[in-house]
Structure 1
Amino acid sequence: MLPSILVLNGPNLNLLGQREPELYGRETLDDVRRLCEREGETLGLRVDFRQSNHEGVLVDWVHEARGTAAGLLVNAGAYSHTSLALHDALRAFEGPILEVHLSNIYRREAFRHHSYVSLAATGVICGLGSEGYRIALQALRARLAAAAG
């Protein structure tokens, strides 16, 4: 059975390609999903790709992942900077967690420079657009392979 990676996308990411394309690009979330599924197939990973605008739904999905996913890839959007609930849920996950942001959060407003998700994450990738998702999946695969010995 292929290792499963849960890819979580937070609020407003459903508007990719429409919302601030000069900042986030013209790719849609469906484009990013297809990229992740193709990369997952190449790497021998099963990708479960989800998006919600609701904090509690994201928290519930992290709880669910504790029994089903080998790793997490998280783009929590604005919840990265505000959600202690998501932080706490991620801290309870035992596998590797990679945080991804399409834009470079350190070149943006000061309030975006702090991420509660980062405090729980194994690593962070930001500013590379959708390519960050591909790199995160590669890094998760390498971590899982190293852990398997």
Structure 2
Amino acid sequence: MNSKAIREVKSGNHDSAKDLFYEALDLEPNNPTILSNIGLYYQDLGLDQKAIEFHNKSLKASDSTYLISGANLGNAYYQIGEYSKGIRILDFVIENTSEDKLLVAAYVNRGFNHLGKGNCKKAKSDLMTAKNKSSNQKDMDFQVSRLEKKLKNCLQQGL
């Protein structure tokens, strides 16, 4: 059901996706993947507070080891302007994983949070690390590029 819900989201069938996610959650109420995907679903709809609720539930259900939720939570905190919280959770993710794809996501999201705080230097450091780790992660190029563009604006404003 979770996989079908993801396909429904990708097809733009949000109502159907929501129903499927919640059916999957009824069957497995403590499944961190389902909880995280519901969080992403709400982020996609711009309901960031609801997304944060589900990313937090995912972390708790996984005993804080499902670090994908942490990377997503850091992004959700960026979206609502709670940059310090985003940085804290992303620091945790970075310190506790060695998976390159997850590290790229965490560094990019932490970079966005640093930009939110107006810290171009730290954002640039995160961008450089993300770029180094993303050489084999072509699906992350878009996110790295987004951070690079925002960083350029930050640096120009600081001149």
**Does TM, normalized by the shorter one, top 0.5?**
no
TM-score normalised per structure 1: 0.28
Q: Which structure carries more relative contact order (alpha carbon 8 Å, separation 6+)?
A: 1
Q: TM-score, normalised by structure 2?
A: 0.27
Q: Which structure features the higher share of strand residues? A: 1
Structure with more helix by fraction? 2
